[in-house]
Structures are given as C-alpha cells and as structure tokens.
Amino acid sequence: MSTLVHVCCGPCLLAVNEILDDEYSAYFFNPNIHNFDEYQRRLMTAGFTAQHLKKEFFYENFPDVYEWVREVLKGNDRCLNCVRLRLEKTAKFAKEKNFKSFTTTLLSSPYQKHDEIKNLGFEIARKYGLEFFYRDFRAGYKKSIEISKKLNLYRQKYCGCFLSSFEKYKL
C-alpha cells in the first residue's frame, strides 16, 4: 500500500474513493468526536464503508480527550489545531507502517478550511519524510451523499467537537 487515508467518517471516505480508487488503506483517528456513542457510530460506519470498498482499515481506540483539549486550545485556531493533531497522528502511523504518502477525507468537505488543511498536510509530510497526496476531493462530495444514502450509512450533522456544540447554544 502506498497511501494512508485519514478518515473522518464513512460518507467522506466514499468521496475520496470516487477520485482516489487506487491502492490505499483507511485510518480512523478522531479525538474530536464526543460523546462515546457518537464516536462509536462514526467508527463503525467508517469501518463498514472501508469493508464495503475492500480497503484495509486501521483505527485508534477512543483517544485521550485531555490530550485533544490541550492541543486544540493552543493558539487562536481551535479547528486548525484539531486538524493538525489528526494529520500529525496519521503521518506518524503512516511512517511506522511504511506508507509512502498520506491524505485526508477532510479535503472532501465543502465546509472545511480546504487551503489550510492542504498546507498543513504538506508541512507535516515534510516533517515526517512522507508525501502528502493532495487532491481536491470535494468533486466527489455530492455523489458520496447519494451512495451513503443507498447504503443507509450514518451521516452526522456536525464535526463531533463538544466545544462546537456548546458554541451553537451560546446566547
């Protein structure tokens, strides 16, 4: 396998697969997802999707929430810090397992900070002596929604971050 794909959720893996459809493995690491039930739903959906696509699937058990909070609260951009933490962990795993490159399904969402994620990917790849496999996966987004509905996949309506959910209800 040459590319490790960081997977945020099953439906987004479908978007990446529409474009990548190469030899790749999927890796689920998302300490931003809370509560535990939500984490389990997304993990199971991502695993089912990888199995449906006949892709090797790796995942981390429910991660250390305290590490996640410490990391995302550094600096001014909580969301970008969260992405950095997830891409960094993906790159470390890719290096350990001898993948040549990595990418992320986060690049399939029209709601993410696409250019910032791309830049972080290249920066982290340099740090670990890997390639960042960049593609604008947003082209597969709409089709991934159609496919995920046909497969009856769980589709979440938020990033999973409990800090974001608190902000929704701020007065």
Interval 20-63: pLDDT, tens: 877 899 999 999 988 888 899 999 999 999 999 999 999 988 77
Going by C-alpha positions, the residue among 132, 128, 126 that lies closest to residue 102 is: 132
Q: For residue 95, what pLDDT is reported?
A: 98
Residue pair 105/9 in contact (Cβ under 8 Å)? The answer is yes
Burial class for 119, CB neighbours closer than 10 Å (0-12, 13-18, 19+): middle
The pTM assigned to this predicted structure is 0.92
- Whether the Cβ atoms of residue 31 and residue 67 lie closer than 8 Å to each other: yes
Tell me what percent of the residues of the chain surpass a pLDDT of 70: 95
Q: What are phi and psi of 26, to 5 degrees?
A: -105, 145
User: Per-residue pLDDT for 146 more than 90?
Assistant: yes
Give the chain's mean pLDDT.
Answer: 90
Q: Is the pLDDT of residue 87 over 70?
A: yes
Per the DSSP assignment, residues forming a β-bridge with 124 are none
User: CA 45 to CA 38: how far, in whole Å?
Assistant: 11
Q: How far apart are CA 39 and CA 24, in angstroms?
A: 23
